[in-house]
């Protein structure tokens, strides 16, 4: 587990309440200390999504579509043989477009049609990623447009990061209070923000990159989960 902590503190004077409606004098400002902190934690992905494409070309759109349907059905059958269920396989794009011949001084001429069918496979066991790629290529897929890894459950890691960030904020607030000649009181405000950057991932493009004749090696890497907290604490000056 890799950790990185960053914090900043300021001592400010802000009133806890404003002036009352009957125009009496406002309450005395309460000294407080504002601290921001951050905690990062590494989590290991346990799932992946693969975009698998089948592209065909023929003189007519109908012929290209028929060829594409046959090859796409073969790819789906190969993936199902690995144990992938229908809820793990979905079509995300289907495209038909003509090919043109361009000659100077003449109108473009249609010389054929391309049909592309793109499927997303949701892989729930990482040891199936390589076999799924190999099976799809062997069955007729000729495009691999993306591979993304992700962690399906980050709740425990997120709570650990939140606790560590708040502990860091408290420690820095206590240090600021001592340096200012007082002590730290209770917590007034707490705001938590979280983000998770994209994990390092291999990008697959085109059938020439992968060979169905050998096992495809896959390295998922790790995902960084980061939590930010903004806190405000009561400052008690020395008597």
Q: What is the pTM of this model?
A: 0.66
How confident is the model at residue 103, as a pLDDT?
A: 87
DSSP string, 129-185: HHHHHHHHHHHT--EEEEEEEE-S--HHHHHHHHHHHHHHHHHHHHHHHHHTTEEEE
pLDDT of residue 236: 94
Q: Return the pLDDT at 208.
A: 36
Name the stretches of the chain with pLDDT < 70: 1-28, 194-215
Which residue do the tokens 């459950």 mark? 153
In 44-140, the DSSP E strands lie at 47-58, 89-101, 109-123
Which residue do the tokens 């050998």 mark? 214
Tell me the C-alpha to C-alpha distance, in Å, between residue 132 and each of 141, 151, 194, 210, 222: 11, 19, 33, 12, 21
Based on C-alpha coordinates, what's the Rg of the chain?
29
Residue 166 makes CB contacts below 8 A (sequence gap 6+) with 37, 190, 229, 231
φ, ψ dihedrals at 36, nearest 5°:
-115, 140
Phi/psi for 137 (5° steps) reads -65, -40
Q: For the chain, which domains are there?
A: 29-45+152-239 (3.30.110.170), 47-150 (3.30.70.2970)
Q: What is the pLDDT of residues 63-78, one digit of tens each?
A: 999 999 999 999 999 9
Q: What is the pLDDT of residue 10?
A: 53
Angle 121-98-100 from CA coordinates, rounded to 5°? 135
| Predicted local distance difference test score (pLDDT) of residue 195 | 62
Cα separation of 96 and 57, whole Å? 10
pLDDT given at position 223: 83
Cβ pair 159, 206 in contact under 8 A: no
pLDDT at 27: 65
pLDDT value, residue 106: 87
* DSSP conformation class of 20: -
pLDDT of residue 24: 64
Model pLDDT, residue 212: 41
Identify the pLDDT of residue 197: 54
Among the listed residues 7, 6, 24, 39, the one whose alpha carbon sits nearest the alpha carbon of residue 193 = 39
Would you state the pLDDT for residue 216?
Answer: 72
pLDDT of residue 22: 56
Task: Tell me the Ramachandran region of residue 10: left when phi exceeds 0, alpha when psi lies from -120 to 50, beta otherwise.
Answer: beta
């Amino acid at each position: 587990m890799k950790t990185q902590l960053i914090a900043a503190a300021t001592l400010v004077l802000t009133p806890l309440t404003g002036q009352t409606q009957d125009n009496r004098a406002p309450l005395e400002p309460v000294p407080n200390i504002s601290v921001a902190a951050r905690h990062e934690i590494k989590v290991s992905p346990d799932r992946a999504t693969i975009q698998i494409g089948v592209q065909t070309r023929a003189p007519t759109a109908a012929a290209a579509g028929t060829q594409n349907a046959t090859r796409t059905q073969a790819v789906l059958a190969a993936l199902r043989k690995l144990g992938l269920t229908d809820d793990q396989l979905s079509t995300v794009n289907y495209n038909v477009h003509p090919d043109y011949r361009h000659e100077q001084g003449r109108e473009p001429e249609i010389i054929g049609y391309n049909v592309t069918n793109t499927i997303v496979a949701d892989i729930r066991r990482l040891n199936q990623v390589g076999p799924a790629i190999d099976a799809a290529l062997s069955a007729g897929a000729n495009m691999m447009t993306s591979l993304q890894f992700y962690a399906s459950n980050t709740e425990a890691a997120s709570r650990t990061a939140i606790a560590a960030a708040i502990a860091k904020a408290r420690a820095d607030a206590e240090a600021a209070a001592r340096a200012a000649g007082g002590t730290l009181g209770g917590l007034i405000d707490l705001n938590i923000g979280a983000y998770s950057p994209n994990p390092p991932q291999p990008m697959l493009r085109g059938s020439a990159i992968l060979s169905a004749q050998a096992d495809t090696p896959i390295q998922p890497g790790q995902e960084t989960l980061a939590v930010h907290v903004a806190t405000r604490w009561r400052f008690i000056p020395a008597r």
